[in-house]
Amino acid sequence: MSSPDSGQPVSFVSKTDMVVALIREMIITGELPEGKQLRQRDLAARFQVSQTPVREAMRRLESEGLLVGDAHRGFTVVEAELGPTEENFLIRAVLESLGASMAAPKINQEAIATLERLNEEMRQLAEDDPRYAELNREFHFVIYEHAHSPLLLSLMRLLWHSLRGGPKVARTRQESVAQHAKIIDALRAGNADAASTATYQHIMHVSHLDRP
Amino acid sequence: MSSPDSGQPVSFVSKTDMVVALIREMIITGELPEGKQLRQRDLAARFQVSQTPVREAMRRLESEGLLVGDAHRGFTVVEAELGPTEENFLIRAVLESLGASMAAPKINQEAIATLERLNEEMRQLAEDDPRYAELNREFHFVIYEHAHSPLLLSLMRLLWHSLRGGPKVARTRQESVAQHAKIIDALRAGNADAASTATYQHIMHVSHLDRP
DNA sequence: AATTGAAATATGGTATACCAGAACTGTCGA
DNA sequence: TCGACAGTTCTGGTATACCATATTTCAATT
State the Cα–Cα distance between residues A190 and A198, nearest whole angstrom.
Answer: 13
pLDDT score of B36: 87
How many angstroms is C1' of D22 away from CA of B185? 49
How many angstroms is C1' of C14 away from CA of B34? 30
Would you call B189 helix, strand, or coil by DSSP? coil
State the Cα–Cα distance between residues B184 and B177, nearest whole angstrom.
Answer: 10
Helix (H) or strand (E) holding B68: strand B67-70
Amino acid at A192: A
**Residue B160 burial class via C-beta count within 10 angstroms: exposed 0-12, middle 13-18, buried 19 and up:** middle
CATH number, domain A15-77: 1.10.10.10
Name the interface residues of A facing B (CB cutoff 8 Å): 11-12, 14, 16, 52, 55-56, 59-60, 62-65, 70-71, 78, 82-84, 87-88, 90-91, 94-95, 98, 102, 147, 149-152, 154-155, 158-159, 162
Q: Residue A158 — very low, low, confident or very high, per pLDDT cuts 50/70/90?
A: confident
Q: Nearest residue on chain A to B147, judged by CA atoms?
A: A87
How many angstroms is C1' of C23 away from CA of B74? 12
pLDDT over 90 (residue B109): yes
% of chain B at pLDDT higher than 90:
47
pLDDT score of A45: 92
Paired with B37 in beta bridges are B76
A204, A89 Cβ separation under 8 angstroms: yes
Protein-covered nucleotides of chain C (CB closer than 7 Å) are: 11-17, 19-23
Round the average pLDDT of chain A to a whole number and report it. 84
Compute the average pLDDT of residues A12-38.
Answer: 86
State the Cα–Cα distance between residues B32 and A94, nearest whole angstrom.
Answer: 35
Round the average pLDDT of chain B to a whole number and report it. 83
Compute the average pLDDT of residues A20-39.
Answer: 88
Would you call B161 helix, strand, or coil by DSSP? helix
A138, A107 Cβ separation under 8 angstroms: no
Largest CA-CA distance found in chain A, in angstroms, rounded: 57
Compute the average pLDDT of residues B83-108.
Answer: 89
pLDDT over 80 (residue A7): no
Question: Under an 8 A CB cutoff, do A59 and B64 touch?
Answer: no
pLDDT over 80 (residue A47): yes
User: DSSP letters of B97-126?
Assistant: HHHHHHHTTT--HHHHHHHHHHHHHHHHS-
pLDDT over 70 (residue A6): no
Question: Under an 8 A CB cutoff, do A150 and B63 touch?
Answer: yes
| Domains in chain A: boundaries | 15-77, 86-204
* Among A59, A83, A149, beta carbon nearest to B56: A59
pLDDT over 50 (residue A10): no
Q: Residue B11 — very low, low, confident or very high, per pLDDT cuts 50/70/90?
A: very low
Interval B155-186: pLDDT, tens: 998 888 777 655 455 457 888 899 999 999 99
Determine the protein residue whose CA lies at the shortest distance from the C1' of D11. Answer: B72
Give the range among A190-204, B97-111, B124-138 with minimum mean pLDDT.
Answer: B124-138
pLDDT score of B197: 94
Give the range among A3-12, A67-76, A100-109, A115-124 with minimum mean pLDDT.
Answer: A3-12
Question: Any idea which architecture B86-204 has in CATH?
Answer: Up-down Bundle (1.20)
A28, A71 Cβ separation under 8 angstroms: no
pLDDT over 70 (residue A211): no
Nucleotide with smallest C1' distance to residue A74 CA? C12
pLDDT score of B175: 86
Nearest to B29 by CA among B77, B89, B87: B77
Give the range among B12-21, B170-179, B191-200 with minimum mean pLDDT.
Answer: B170-179
Contacts of B149 in chain A (CB under 8 A): 82-84, 87-88, 91
| CA torsion through residues B129, B24, B86, B191, sign | negative
Q: Which residues contact A145 (CB under 8 A, 6 or more apart)?
A: A153
Nearest to B61 by CA among B15, B24, B22, B18: B24
State the Cα–Cα distance between residues B179 and B40, nearest whole angstrom.
Answer: 44
Q: Count of A–B CB contacts within 8 Å?
A: 105
Interval B52-88: pLDDT, tens: 999 999 988 888 888 888 888 889 988 755 555 678 8
Question: Under an 8 A CB cutoff, do B60 and A55 touch?
Answer: no
Determine if the pTM surpasses 0.85.
Answer: no
A76, A36 Cβ separation under 8 angstroms: yes
pLDDT score of B72: 84
Q: What is the 3-state secondary structure (H, E, C) of A172-190?
A: CHHHHHHHHHHHHHHHHCC
pLDDT over 80 (residue B3): no
pLDDT score of B167: 45
